[in-house]
Amino acid sequence: MMELIQGLPDNVLGIIGSGTITGEDYDTILIPAMQDKLQRHKKIRMLYQLKTDFSHYALDAYLEDAKVSWHTLSFEKVAVVSDVHWINDSVNVFKFIIPVQVKVFSNSEFDKAKAWISE
């Protein structure tokens, strides 16, 4: 399940993931919110948190994630907040080939991630 994070600057897209994340979450929450932000801003920032009750991505979510990847150049910064080691490790490995600033934070550092993405 995905939810929007409220109270962020207008150029920041905040998403919270928990439980099972599905392709429908991408289609109904993430992609429309991203498109809305990109109508108002040339570049946006993303704060993406996986809560401690995150369980897994459904297969269709991986396919929908490719749609978001097509917009990589539309991002200025991405903060990933997670305690899921394989997620954090994957982001840390691939952030060197992603042409935007990417930082990984633990869930206990959420406020730090929020400050970084908003500065």
Closest CA to 74 of 21, 31, 24: 31
Half-sphere exposure of 113 (CA within 13 A, CB side): 26
Q: For 27, which DSSP code?
A: I
Instruction: Give the number of other CB atoms < 10 A from CB of residue 27.
Output: 14
Q: How far is CA 37 from the centre of its chain?
A: 14
Per-residue pLDDT for 10 more than 70?
yes
Considering Cα of 30, then 103, then 40, then 51, what sign does the dihedral take? positive
Report the chain's mean pLDDT, rounded to a whole number. 91
Q: What percent of the chain has pLDDT over 90?
A: 71
Contacts of 32 (CB under 8 A, 6+ apart): none
What's the confidence (pLDDT) of residue 55? 92
pLDDT digits (tens, 9 = 90+) for 51-104: 999 999 887 887 677 666 655 678 999 999 999 999 999 889 988 888 899 999
What's the confidence (pLDDT) of residue 49? 98
